[in-house]
Amino acid sequence: MFRNRQSQFKDRLKDFQEIVEKFRLKGATSSERAMTIEEIGLPPVFKEMMSRRLGRSGIIIEVNGKYYLSEVRLKEVRDTRRRNGGSEVPVK
């Protein structure tokens, strides 16, 4: 059971890192450069992810049906998790 949770965590972390990289590659890192899910090339499940932890984290921000990555918020969340002894930011 523990191994299964660890595997799920690693999968979510990998998914999160891939999403962040897509935003960076497309340049969707500010409200002025926000893009649709299709323009960024995100999977259809992205909207569901935004209704959960990913959306609540404030790392990905939605503006009028378009999305962008907040590098500032990503750094804040990662710094907080590191200070508290956690690992990278997973996504459900």
Q: The CATH number of the domain where 40 resides is what?
A: 1.10.10
Query: Cβ atoms within 10 A of the Cβ of 23, count?
Result: 24
The total number of structural domains in the chain stands at 1
Please give the pLDDT value at position 92. Answer: 40
- Residue 88 within any structural domain of the chain: no
Q: Supply the range of the domain harboring residue 37.
A: 2-83
> Does 89 fall in a domain?
no
Whether 92 is covered by a domain: the verdict is: no
In a domain, 91, yes or no: no
pTM, two decimals, is: 0.80
- 33 belongs to a structural domain: yes
Q: For residue 8, tell me if it sits in a domain.
A: yes
What pLDDT does residue 28 have?
Answer: 98
Q: Residues 13-67: pLDDT tens digits?
A: 788 899 999 999 999 999 999 999 999 999 888 988 899 988 999 999 999 999 9
Burial track 33-70 (b if 16+ CB lie within 10 A, e otherwise): ebbebeebebeeebeebbeeebbebebbbeeeebbbbb
